């Protein structure tokens, strides 16, 4: 029995953090994303060279053939550094969907390119979870019509994965092809790019798997995305706590460092008391994704919902520990606050996820 | 990450199951888990059988009356899991077996081990813990009850409070001030005291649950041999601290949380109001699921801490949060049960229409006691921030 990260996983976390601290600190992130949301200015290419994009790609397709726990460790570290880049769409959702539903030929074509970062996949998954008025994509005469909101990594994408017919079919289309109009959206978090995509008769380039047979793949893709988002919130919260503790040891008021006041210490302790059990939950959800299939969906729902509750608590408390300076643009703490804030809204609110978990257990109809 | 137990453990689990199938019927009736307080004849006999088979006092040497088996933590976890699943009593528990015995094994003299460990693990001698005093709560080292040298004895005078099971105990272990000039922490000794010593008076202290779980214990020149000190004089603080950490984890068992959640789900499926089952109320159901997420987090957190212990590693700050987070969660589980019962959640004391023998109200209040006892939530936050995060202590007030 071993409920811990392996040496390799610890090493992955350490090397990613070292790389981000040296090559892409928050001051650099700030410059990059000022140009447009999610703009990584070559950071993603370097991360791909470190193997980040190929974690979930099997070895025969040029990846490292690792599991969701490795991807979660990477997601956590990337959020620790508020790294820009299409990790969620191109390194988690697309590889999982292709592995679950793609033909051998499709896997051989796309997985190597994803692993090396040669192409970027955006995912129009929002309508699987929540269809706003006026949104939704339908298939007519072999072409896609409609509107997809909050398309993940939708800025700078080469390809789009579009679930159709409530996820029973999964289309790949050229993100810059005929009938596709992509408009960047602006969220509070500029480190990742979201778009709305209007489809006016966009031809389907290919179906991933058989049309009508993609439901299981779409569910796997959502489970994976939710675990990755929970891990992202974990990493961002962890960094916010580190920054708050460091600041509390530096800032002096009433002739003492503020970290010596119980009022401040207790805020820090409350953050730890939420963070550490949540870390254990994220690890287990990631482990279950690969090793305990009957628990995978329930754990993904719970991990995403729980981290969406404690993450915002931690980043706001870290901001309060900083006092007025934490509220300023200049301090940069808000990059983590905003990352966590957007994660909470994506792919199901905590309430919606918990309702689904209750249904999954047969507690409600 | 590998959550399988391995073939050696699968065989061990089978062995435990076979024992429960064949012998489980001999266990005293009542809830699973350990029993505290005065043991019935049935419990004493059951405990004897458990020790023989290594399901109690497993790693305690034979010479002291234990089973003399290996100290394998995983096997202990398996025993816990299987006994809990079967709903069978784990035998004798409480502060004697769980806190005094480990302390004696680590710090006691050979004579003390011979004298006390056997009767304690067999359930023949019940112990209470004499730590807290009216002026020594969160500031535990401020113990003022004196043990004054008188020939080869100590004469003890003062008062203890919050003393669980003192009214049922034959013995007390506790902290007493033996070296008045030696400073706050260095002046304490860890003494073993027979409760029938003349000069000791026990007064039950009813709590808000209505039960007399606690006592006040008064000492007026109670005479105890100096040989009853465990370890050296003046080292009581250090000795007591080695077991306080175990108490904190005992107070927030993740198995208890898991069981509590399952009972809560059953209650919410059973209780209905105006034809709607509690679990079908969107608001109550959402609260239940929030708590389920937290119970799962604590469950896997427990496995993470267990792994660290197996590897002999310190899990760092992560280990310090268990008591704070676990006790709060327990309180909230019981609180939701009350709300799921609506107006019937107010019933108590065996009232008509009371559910589950008042268990939820009683536990709701009792768990508030757990949040306070064994180091209050606020003291836990000091420990987490000081020992875990390296934040400085509050400066001493200027006198």
Closest CA to A343 of A182, A123, A152, A96: A152
Instruction: Give the pLDDT of residue A333.
Output: 98
Return the CATH class of domain A215-360: mainly alpha
Q: Which residue of A has its CA nearest to B323?
A: A273
CATH code for the structural domain at B252-388 = 1.20.140.10
Q: Could you give the C-alpha distances from A177 to A97, A110, A197, A316, B257, in angstroms and in order?
A: 21, 18, 12, 42, 54
* Shortest Cα–Cα distance, B371 to chain A (Å): 14
DSSP alpha helix (H) spans, chain B: 7-23, 41-53, 73-86, 95, 101-107, 110-122, 236-251, 254-270, 282-310, 322-340, 359-372, 377-383
Q: Between chains, do A283 and B384 touch, taking CB under 8 Å as contact?
A: no
Say whether B157 sits in a helix, a strand or coil: strand
Give the pLDDT mean for A93-111.
98
Contact residues, chain B, for A3 at CB < 8 Å: 1, 3, 300, 303-304, 306-307
Q: Predicted confidence band at A290 (pLDDT cuts at 50, 70, 90)?
A: very high
Lowest pLDDT segment from A259-268, B27-36, B148-157: B27-36
Q: Is B349 a catalytic residue?
A: no
Pairing of the two strands A252-253 and A256-257: antiparallel
Radius of gyration of chain B (CA): 22
Q: Between chains, do B1 and A358 touch, taking CB under 8 Å as contact?
A: no
CATH code for the structural domain at A121-207 = 2.40.110.10
pLDDT > 90? residue B76:
no
CB A302 within 8 A of CB A283: no
Write down the catalytic residue from B247, B271, B328, B354.
B247
Q: Between chains, do A357 and B297 touch, taking CB under 8 Å as contact?
A: no
Dihedral angle, C-alpha A73, A79, A84, A90, nearest 10 °: 40
Contact residues, chain A, for B381 at CB < 8 Å: 262, 265-266, 269-270, 273
B321 vs A276, A302, A357: nearest CB:
A276
Q: Between chains, do B296 and A309 touch, taking CB under 8 Å as contact?
A: no
Instruction: Give the pLDDT of residue B306.
Output: 84
Task: Return left, alpha or beta for B139; rule: phi > 0 is left, psi -120 to 50 is alpha, else beta.
Answer: beta
Q: Which residue of A has its CA nearest to B284?
A: A355
* Shortest Cα–Cα distance, A325 to chain B (Å): 20
Q: Between chains, do B307 and A3 touch, taking CB under 8 Å as contact?
A: yes
pLDDT > 90? residue A60:
yes
Instruction: Give the pLDDT of residue B173.
Output: 97
Instruction: Give the pLDDT of residue A192.
Output: 97
Type and span of the H or E element at A138: strand A136-140
pLDDT > 70? residue B343:
yes
Q: Could you give the C-alpha distances from A52 to A16, A91, A110, in angstroms and in order?
A: 9, 7, 16
The share of chain A scoring above pLDDT 70, in percent, equals 100
Mean of the per-residue pLDDT values for chain A? 97
Pairing of the two strands B171-177 and B127-130: parallel
Pairing of the two strands B229-230 and B214-225: unpaired
Instruction: Give the pLDDT of residue A270.
Output: 98
Interface with chain A: mutation pick from B376, B389, B396, B398, highest number of A CBs within 10 Å: B389
A273 vs B3, B300, B325: nearest CB:
B325
CATH code for the structural domain at B127-233 = 2.40.110.10
Residue boundaries of the structural domains of chain A:
7-116, 121-207, 215-360
B293 vs A5, A260, A305: nearest CB:
A305
Residue A238 and residue B270: Cα distance in Å, rounded?
A: 41
Q: Between chains, do A4 and B388 touch, taking CB under 8 Å as contact?
A: no
Residue B159 and residue A277: Cα distance in Å, rounded?
A: 39
Residue boundaries of the structural domains of chain B:
7-93, 127-233, 252-388
Q: CA B312, A227, A3 angle in degrees (round to 5)?
A: 15
Residue B75 and residue B96: Cα distance in Å, rounded?
A: 22
Q: Answer with the residue of higher pLDDT: B260 or A206.
A: A206
CB B164 within 8 A of CB B130: no
CA atoms within 13 A on the CB side of B109: 14
Task: Return left, alpha or beta for A62; rule: phi > 0 is left, psi -120 to 50 is alpha, else beta.
Answer: left
Say whether A197 sits in a helix, a strand or coil: strand
Contact residues, chain A, for B290 at CB < 8 Å: 305, 309, 354
Q: Between chains, do A364 and B285 touch, taking CB under 8 Å as contact?
A: yes
Interface with chain B: mutation pick from A10, A265, A269, highest number of B CBs within 10 Å: A269
pLDDT > 70? residue A302:
yes
Q: Which residue of B has its CA nearest to A273?
A: B321
A272 vs B289, B303, B321: nearest CB:
B321
Two structure tokens written together for A159: 């390809």
Closest CA to A196 of A229, A160, A142, A233: A160
A–B CB contacts, 8 A cutoff, strictly below: 162
pLDDT > 80? residue B249:
no
Type and span of the H or E element at A105: helix A104-116
**Which CATH superfamily does the domain covering A7-116 fall into?**
Acyl-CoA dehydrogenase/oxidase, N-terminal domain (1.10.540.10)
Instruction: Give the pLDDT of residue B251.
Output: 53
A357 vs B289, B378, B382: nearest CB:
B289
* Tokens 């949301």 belong to residue: A37
Q: Predicted confidence band at B246 (pLDDT cuts at 50, 70, 90)?
A: low
Give the pLDDT mean for B136-157.
95
A287 vs B1, B269, B321: nearest CB:
B1
Pairing of the two strands B171-177 and B188-194: antiparallel
Q: Between chains, do A269 and B265 touch, taking CB under 8 Å as contact?
A: no
Q: Which residues of A179-204 are buried (b: 16+ CB within 10 A; e: fewer)?
A: ebebebeebebbbbbbbbbbbeebbb
Q: Between chains, do B304 and A3 touch, taking CB under 8 Å as contact?
A: yes
* Shortest Cα–Cα distance, B7 to chain A (Å): 11
A152, β-bridge pairs: A123, A194
């Amino acid at each position: 029995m071993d409920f811990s990260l392996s040496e390799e996983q610890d090493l992955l976390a350490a090397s990613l953090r070292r790389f981000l601290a040296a090559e892409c600190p928050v001051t650099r992130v700030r410059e990059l994303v000022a140009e447009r949301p999610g703009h990584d200015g070559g950071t993603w290419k370097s991360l791909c060279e470190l193997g980040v994009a190929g974690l979930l790609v099997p070895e025969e397709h040029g990846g490292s053939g690792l599991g969701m726990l490795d991807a979660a460790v990477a997601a956590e570290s990337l959020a620790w550094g508020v790294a820009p880049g299409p990790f969620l769409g191109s390194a988690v959702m697309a590889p999982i969907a292709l592995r679950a539903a793609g033909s051998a030929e499709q896997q051989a074509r796309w997985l190597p390119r994803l692993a090396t970062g040669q192409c970027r996949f955006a995912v129009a998954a929002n309508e699987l979870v929540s269809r706003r008025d006026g949104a939704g994509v339908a298939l007519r005469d072999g072409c896609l019509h409609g509107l997809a909101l909050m398309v993940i990594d939708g800025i700078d994408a080469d390809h789009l994965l579009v679930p159709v017919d409530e996820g029973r079919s999964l289309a790949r289309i050229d993100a810059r092809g005929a009938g596709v109009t992509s408009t960047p959206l602006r969220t509070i978090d500029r480190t990742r790019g979201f778009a709305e995509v209007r489809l006016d008769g966009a031809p389907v380039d290919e179906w991933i798997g058989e049309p009508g047979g993609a439901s299981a793949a779409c569910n796997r893709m959502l489970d994976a995305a939710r675990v990755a988002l929970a891990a992202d919130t974990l990493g961002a919260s962890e960094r916010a706590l580190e920054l708050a503790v460091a600041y509390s040891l530096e800032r002096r008021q009433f002739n003492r460092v503020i970290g010596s006041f119980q009022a401040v210490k207790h805020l820090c302790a409350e953050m730890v008391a939420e963070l550490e059990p949540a870390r254990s939950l994220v690890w287990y959800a990631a482990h279950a994704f690969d090793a305990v299939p009957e628990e995978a969906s329930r754990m993904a729902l719970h991990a995403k919902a729980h981290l969406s509750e404690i993450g915002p608590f931690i980043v706001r408390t870290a901001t309060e520990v900083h006092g007025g300076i934490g509220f300023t643009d200049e301090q940069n703490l808000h990059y983590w606050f905003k990352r966590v804030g957007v994660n909470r809204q994506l792919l199901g609110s905590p309430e919606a996820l918990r309702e689904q978990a209750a249904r999954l257990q047969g507690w409600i109809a | 990450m590998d959550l399988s137990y391995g073939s050696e453990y699968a065989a061990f689990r089978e062995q435990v199951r076979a024992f429960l199938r064949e012998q489980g019927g001999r266990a005293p009736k009542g809830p699973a888990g350990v029993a505290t307080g005065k043991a019935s004849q049935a419990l004493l006999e059951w405990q004897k059988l458990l020790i023989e088979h290594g399901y109690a006092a497993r790693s305690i040497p034979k010479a002291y009356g234990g089973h003399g088996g290996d100290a394998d933590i995983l096997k202990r976890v398996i025993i816990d899991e299987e006994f809990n699943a079967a709903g069978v009593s784990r035998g004798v528990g409480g502060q004697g077996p769980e806190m005094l015995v480990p302390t004696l094994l680590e710090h006691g003299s050979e004579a003390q081990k011979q004298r006390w460990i056997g009767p304690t693990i067999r359930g023949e001698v019940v112990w209470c813990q004499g730590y807290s005093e009216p002026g020594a709560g969160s500031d535990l080292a401020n113990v003022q009850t004196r043990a004054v040298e008188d020939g080869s004895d100590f004469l003890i005078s003062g008062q203890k409070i919050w003393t669980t099971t003192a009214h049922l105990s034959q013995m007390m272990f506790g902290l007493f001030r033996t070296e008045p000039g030696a400073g706050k922490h260095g002046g304490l000794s860890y003494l073993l005291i027979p409760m029938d010593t003349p000069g000791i008076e026990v007064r039950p202290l009813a709590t808000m649950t209505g039960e007399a779980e606690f006592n006040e214990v008064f000492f007026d020149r109670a005479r105890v041999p100096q040989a009853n000190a465990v370890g050296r004089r003046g080292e009581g603080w250090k000795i007591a601290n080695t077991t306080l950490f175990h108490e904190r984890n005992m107070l927030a068992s993740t198995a208890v949380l898991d069981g509590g959640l399952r009972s809560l789900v059953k209650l919410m499926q059973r209780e209905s109001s105006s034809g709607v089952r509690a679990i079908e109320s969107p608001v109550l159901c959402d609260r239940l699921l929030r708590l389920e997420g937290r119970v799962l987090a604590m469950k896997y957190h427990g496995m993470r801490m267990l792994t660290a212990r197996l590897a002999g590693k310190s899990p760092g700050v992560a280990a310090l949060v268990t008591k704070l987070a676990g006790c709060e969660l327990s309180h909230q589980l019981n609180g939701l049960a009350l709300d799921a019962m609506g107006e019937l959640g107010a019933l108590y004391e065996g009232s008509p229409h009371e559910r589950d023998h008042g268990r939820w109200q009683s536990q709701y209040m009792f768990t508030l006691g757990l949040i306070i006892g064994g180091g209050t939530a606020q003291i836990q936050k000091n420990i987490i921030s000081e020992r875990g995060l390296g934040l400085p202590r509050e400066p001493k007030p200027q006198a």
